[in-house]
Amino acid sequence: MSWDALPPQESIHIEGVDDAPEEVVRATARASEAQGGICKAPFSAERPHVNLFGVRNPVVATVTGNFRLTAESSSSDVRHLVLDFGATAFPVLEGQSVGILPTGTDSNGKSHYVRLYSVASPRNGERPNYNNLSLTVKRVTHDHAGSPVAGVGSNYLCDLRVGDQVKIVGPYGATFLMPNHPGSSLLMICTGTGSAPMRAMTEWRRRHLANSENSALMLFFGARMPEELPYFGPLMKLPKHFIDVNFAFSRVPGRPKRYVQDAIRERGDAVVRRLRDENTYIYVCGVRGMEAGVESAFRDVCQGHGVDWESLRPTLLTQNRLHVETY
């Protein structure tokens, strides 16, 4: 009561999540730290809808599909979930995220906080023109140190059955969006479930620009081994002229470890051409820490082609062409 003024308040401004729960704001801020903060969306990106539903008024979706993407023999359980919103409008764009509210309470008896997941389907739905979307979810059974732990959000989602209902908030994100102008190309780099937004972007282009000669897609996709890589089969069936796919597997028996940064160095000529092209937009998504290896590879391939990465990087950010989200 003796205060003459309120104490300083911590303020976090994140484009597209200003009214989101605190845990969503923090997760989004942390995810974009690798690029030095928020990089605005491409100038031609579709205008996104954000914060349509909050914790106090979540939308309820029905599970219409839960498919295992990885081999049954694999210890990595990755799922493709399809959620239907019925008559409730829930518009999302490729690159946006939604928040899941797991059922139950934590050890303190409080409701679980929001878990964020990137949308894996294009803007017109997993099934075209149906009011649904899909997520790519890996069941978490161990922490980063290797100790057994059951991820609350991931296990909740992976155990859902067709017909179950899920409370969802959002959508969130107004920056990690794809360009829409003719002739724009995508350079996508991901690991594991970081493939979700890349799948959404690729599928949107496949449905609408699969035969365009002026719109190139290039993908670098990393996993431990082929049977642990989500969407491996569908990717292999895409036409070579539509997308240039480069896999990197780090735990194949009898082979040296190979990561996405190694694949980038091997394709240095093509990568530098895309980095120089003002109509190419770069997207990096996956496990936190991968961005360091990707940036090191960019620096190396640029140096080998007479390009100064330290000068190019801020230009990419100024042009809204470099987008990084790692968790």
Which residue type sits at 272? V
Q: Which domains does the chain have, with CATH numbers?
A: 59-172 (2.40.30.10), 175-326 (3.40.50.80)
- Complete DSSP assignment for 153-214: HHHHHHT--TT-EEEEEEEE-SSS----STT-EEEEEEEGGGHHHHHHHHHHHHHHHTT-TT
Residue 39, C-beta contacts closer than 8 angstroms, at least 6 positions apart:
32, 175, 317, 320, 322, 323, 324
Q: Evaluate if residue 123 carries a pLDDT over 50.
A: yes
- pLDDT at residue 150, as a whole number: 87
Q: Evaluate if residue 14 carries a pLDDT over 60.
A: no
222: Cα separation from own chain's centroid: 14
- pLDDT at residue 5, as a whole number: 60
What is the 3-state composition of the chain as percent helix, strand, coil, each rounded to the nearest 5?
25, 25, 50
Which residue type sits at 147? S
Instruction: From residue 49, give the alpha-carbon distance in Å to each of 82, 90, 96, 142, 293.
Output: 20, 9, 9, 35, 33
In the structure, what pLDDT confidence band is assigned to residue 9 with cuts at 50, 70 and 90? very low
Q: Report pLDDT digits (tens) over 222-254.
A: 999 888 888 988 888 998 889 999 999 998 999
Both tokens of 107, joined, read 């050890």
- pLDDT at residue 148, as a whole number: 84
Q: Report pLDDT digits (tens) over 283-307.
A: 999 988 899 999 999 999 999 999 9
Q: What percent of the chain has pLDDT over 70?
A: 91
Q: How far apart are CA 320 and CA 82, in angstroms?
A: 31
Q: Evaluate if residue 66 carries a pLDDT over 70.
A: yes
Q: Evaluate if residue 6 carries a pLDDT over 90.
A: no
Q: How far apart are CA 171 and CA 272, in angstroms?
A: 34
Greater model confidence, 8 or 81: 81
- What integer best gives the mean pLDDT of the chain? 89
Asked which of 189-193, 215-219, 265-269 is least confident by mean pLDDT, the reply is: 215-219
Between the two ends of the chain, the Cα-to-Cα distance in Å is 42
In the structure, what pLDDT confidence band is assigned to residue 139 with cuts at 50, 70 and 90? very high
Stretch 10-29: mean pLDDT, rounded?
Answer: 67
Instruction: Extract the runs of DSSP E, i.e. beta strands, from 214-262.
Output: 217-223, 243-249
Greater model confidence, 287 or 94: 94
